[in-house]
Amino acid sequence: MQTETTQPGFWLDSAKAQSVMRRLKATEDIVETWGQLEKKVTELRDMATLAIEENDQSLQGEMQRETDKIISQLDELEDRLMLSDEYDPRDAIMALHAGAGGTESQDWAEMLLRMYLRWAERHEYQVEILDTSPGEEAGIRSATVEVKGDCAYGYLKSEHGVHRLVRLSPFDADHARHTSFVLVEVLPEAEEDADIRISPDDLKIDTFRSSGPGGQHMQKTSSAVRITHIPTGLVVSCQSQRSQFQNKESATKVLYARLLQLERDKREAEKAKLKGKRIEAGWGNQIRSYVLHPYRMVKDHRTNHESGNTAAVLNGELDEFITAYLRSKVGEGE
């Protein structure tokens, strides 16, 4: 990759060059991190020798604390090595869509959104809610979120699919047991021009008044934006931001991500056709169930990993599920 940057004409295609430089920087960061870890291990070994020679109890305690830190960092780096897809280092765009069931599913969608926001907060990722559509009585019908941080897409891609909730409904006077579904989409953020090039003639841009809450400004002006990509028929709209410019910027970002995913799906379909692999998609293929009644259990149906601590999971403690998914994919050549 580094050799590529020294080739004549490398910067002629600036979009491609910037993409290569970003990947090179990410690789250099990984190498530097492993180098720093190696240095810490060497220092710890010297500390251990000194602690044994002098029988220094306080030094031994410090050594144990440093050892625990190194083990924790090593676990994180090993998980990082499982992210081998070219898009894994990128930021992520998540879209949540409540399924059939009205208020019950819309409340479940909001619970999932909170879960992912808490997970991102734990990892110190930057989150921006690009668009939301409020529910009729409670919850949300849909939401689109941008998550920025190291390998945000690589980790969050494990969440792509249908999530199922089983509980006693707080919206049912009889408190009957209900099953709700929410579709979670996870897309890698596209690099404009480098990944996707769109002709302005291929876009139809409409503006309209926001239908959701947001104050008098949003209601009185046509700040909401709808973008249609004519060749594919993809439609993306955004109405949650205060200005038309912000809504257009958010909608464009999501459109690029969806077009990139469309291209990836085509490539994967071709590969699957050659391999004879069956591709499954749709609402019937739930990836994870969250059962709150008659017992408490979160189970991932792809890895069979499960947890009885449903409160912790719904509060953003997802790492064990993400790691189990990534480990299950090692060697599949996805």
CATH of the domain at 156: 3.30.70.1660
Asked if residue 161 lies in contact with residue 321, where contact means CB atoms within 8 angstroms, the answer is: no
Q: Is residue 86 part of a domain?
A: no
For residue 5, what pLDDT is reported? Answer: 66
Report DSSP letters for 11-57, one per residue.
GGSHHHHHHHHHHHHHHHHHHHHHHHHHHHHHHHHHHHHHHHHHT-H
For residue 281, what pLDDT is reported? Answer: 40
Q: Is residue 277 part of a domain?
A: no
Angle 162-166-172 (CA atoms, 0-180°, nearest 5)?
120
For residue 105, what pLDDT is reported? Answer: 94
d(CA 94, CA 151): 14
For residue 179, what pLDDT is reported? Answer: 92
CATH of the domain at 219: 3.30.160.20
Region of residue 333 (left: phi > 0; alpha: psi -120 to 50; beta: else): left
d(CA 105, CA 165): 9
Q: Are residues 60 and 111 in the same domain?
A: no
In the chain, the amino acid numbered 175 is: H
For residue 65, what pLDDT is reported? Answer: 83
Domain count, the chain: 3
Q: Are residues 179 and 293 in the same domain?
A: yes
Q: Are residues 268 and 299 in the same domain?
A: no
For 98, the domain range is 92-193+283-329
Mean confidence (pLDDT) of the chain: 84
Which residue ranges in the chain fall short of pLDDT 50?
213-219, 277-282, 334
Q: Are residues 150 and 291 in the same domain?
A: yes
Predicted TM-score of the model (pTM): 0.78
H or E segment at 227? Answer: strand 224-229
For residue 280, what pLDDT is reported? Answer: 42
User: What would the pLDDT profile of 136-186 be if each residue is shown by its tens digit?
Assistant: 889 999 999 999 998 999 999 999 999 999 999 888 877 789 999 999 999
Sign (positive/negative) of CA torsion 7, 13, 14, 16? negative
Q: Are residues 183 and 107 in the same domain?
A: yes
Report DSSP letters for 49-103, one per residue.
HHHHHHT-HHHHHHHHHHHHHHHHHHHHHHHHHT--STTTTS-EEEEEEE-SSTH
Q: Are residues 61 and 182 in the same domain?
A: no
For residue 62, what pLDDT is reported? Answer: 79
For residue 215, what pLDDT is reported? Answer: 43
For residue 324, what pLDDT is reported? Answer: 94
